[in-house]
Amino acid sequence: MQKGIKLFGLALTLAFQVNTALAETAEVKNSPSPQTLTLEQALRVAEQQSPTMRKVTLSRERSRQTLNAQKAATKAHFSLNLDPLQYSNNLNFDDRYSSWYSYEYLSSSGSLSISQPIVATNTTLTLSNVFGWQQSFSDYMGTAASDQSFVNDLYISLRQPLFTYNAQKMTIKQLELDVEQSNISYALAKLTQEQYVSSLFYSVYMSQLQLDIAGEELKNTQQSRNIVADKVKEGMMANVELYQADLNLATARSTIKNRQVSLENALIRFKQFVGMDLDTPILVLASIESNDTLQIDLSKAVKRGLDARMELRQRKIDVEYQQFNLTQVKEYNDLDGSIALSLGLKGNNGALQRVYDKPSKSPSIGISFSVPLYDWGERKARIKAQEASLRSSQIDLETERIGIRVEIEEIVRNIENFRSQIDIERQNQRNAELAYDISMEKYTNGDLTSMDLNLYQSQLSNRRIALVQAKINFKQALLSLKVATLFDLEQQQPVVALK
């Protein structure tokens, strides 16, 4: 009676598992077919849609447009100002004669100016013309006077700073460095993204593989369970073996569920970083085979890295920035001067066509100096502080050189280690396959328990996963070397990161 109850409960359990599997199968059939995605396709999608690349692209565009704006500012500026109407009527007091007088004024005018910066000499040259009409009336000490005339003032002026650096040229140079810096940042972000996308891509691939292996384990476990059930039915095995087989089957189904959860989590992280729609079903297709016999010359790899790495150029740009800052600091509280020249022709007349009948010249020249006397050592301290910043940037440059060499040497050592790991895991997988085949034959003949068979099956699955992981590690190490040297060893060609 007790044996019948156990068998009935077992039958209910199996029926529930079959119904669950059928429901899951129906759900899979009703879901849309996944979009297949290779690593190259994923990298193209990430370059266009990932938030990181979109931000660095916008930063590069900002620096480019800022430089374009500054270059446009060095061309001639045309400015038109209009004052259509000005009117005033004031009662004023004359201190000299202690009397009041009225003054009424009405005018309309406009001015046109053309300003041309000269970058080579840090000079600004301006041509201006002011034209207008005015009418005035005054009543002073009982005497009335009025005037109505056209007025035109045409003049050219020049302003030249003295004893100082060329601010116009330095500004353009700084913006050019900013553009170069943003281009480097874009290229580095692209290379870094290639590494990170590859890591997430292979994580999804591993999750898919683990799910597939779990599916094979479930199939094998179901097959072994059927063998046990037949032998128990024929009285060739004890019921305890069937219970253990059922437990193995339930564990295999649980493993399937866990692998599905891991795969979904890996897919969500991958699609989030790449910038894909989170609801789009995808299936990644990866090629993990690579030339694991590839020979690497360490000295050549280090030389390529030191010659091509963009981080070194970034550090050199930092040094140039600090040198610019030092130039500006040296001008602080130092001798300064400027020359302002102006030459014009002004005329006025009641008739427009006779406005320049009796013109008057209006030349002017001004020279100014600013001579600091004593600043309590402020300027000297600022210069020393900036010199310290400059030396710090130079140290960063040298440290970057050493860091690049250390990084490349570590990557090469890791590649050699992963190469040996692949050979070891290949042998381990062959041994695990042979051990599983032998154990399956023993299990079929009744010479091995289902628990032992499950251990051999798990060992085979782990070895298959370990071999794939070793190949992925080797492939990612080659990618790291490509990023570190900007040279693709597999393709035997340099990496052109800047566009």
Q: Quick check: is 481 in a domain?
A: yes
Q: DSSP assignment of 235-300, as one string? A: TSS-HHHHHHHHHHHHHHHHHHHHHHHHHHHHHHHHHHHHT--TT--EEEE------TT----HHH
Question: How many residues are there in the chain?
Answer: 499
Q: Quick check: is 67 in a domain?
A: no
Q: Which residue has the tokens 């170069």?
A: 180
Q: Do 266 and 142 fall into the same domain?
A: no
Q: Do 189 and 129 fall into the same domain?
A: no
pLDDT (0 to 100) of residue 456: 87
Give CA–CA dist 130/79, Å, rounded.
Answer: 12
Q: Do 183 and 258 fall into the same domain?
A: yes
CATH of the domain at 38: 1.20.1600.10
- DSSP assigned state of 352: G
Q: Do 253 and 361 fall into the same domain?
A: no
Q: Do 56 and 79 fall into the same domain?
A: no
Grade residue 453 by pLDDT with cuts at 50, 70 and 90: confident
Q: Quick check: is 482 in a domain?
A: yes
Per residue in 125-175, pLDDT tens?
999 999 999 999 888 777 788 888 999 999 999 999 988 888 899 999 999
Q: Do 408 and 489 fall into the same domain?
A: yes
User: 13: number of CA atoms within 13 Å, CB side?
Assistant: 14
pLDDT (0 to 100) of residue 165: 86
Q: Do 402 and 481 fall into the same domain?
A: yes
Per residue in 330-370, pLDDT tens?
888 777 888 888 888 888 888 888 888 888 888 888 888 88
pLDDT (0 to 100) of residue 294: 81
- Backbone torsion region of residue 498, taken as left when φ is above 0, otherwise alpha when ψ lies between -120 and 50, otherwise beta: beta
Grade residue 32 by pLDDT with cuts at 50, 70 and 90: low
Q: Do 402 and 292 fall into the same domain?
A: yes
Q: DSSP assignment of 354-406, as one string? A: GTTSS-EE--EEEEEEE-----TTHHHHHHHHHHHHHHHHHHHHHHHHHHHHH
Q: Quick check: is 328 in a domain?
A: no
Q: Quick check: is 236 in a domain?
A: yes
Domain residues for the domain of 353 are 75-118+123-163+338-371
Closest alpha carbon to 309 in 495, 43, 52 = 495
Q: Do 52 and 88 fall into the same domain?
A: no
Q: Quick check: is 137 in a domain?
A: yes
Give CA–CA dist 294/419, Å, rounded.
Answer: 9
Residues forming beta bridges with residue 131, ordered by sequence position:
110, 152
Q: Do 426 and 310 fall into the same domain?
A: yes
> How many domains does the structure of the chain reveal?
2
Mean pLDDT to the nearest integer, 409-422 = 92
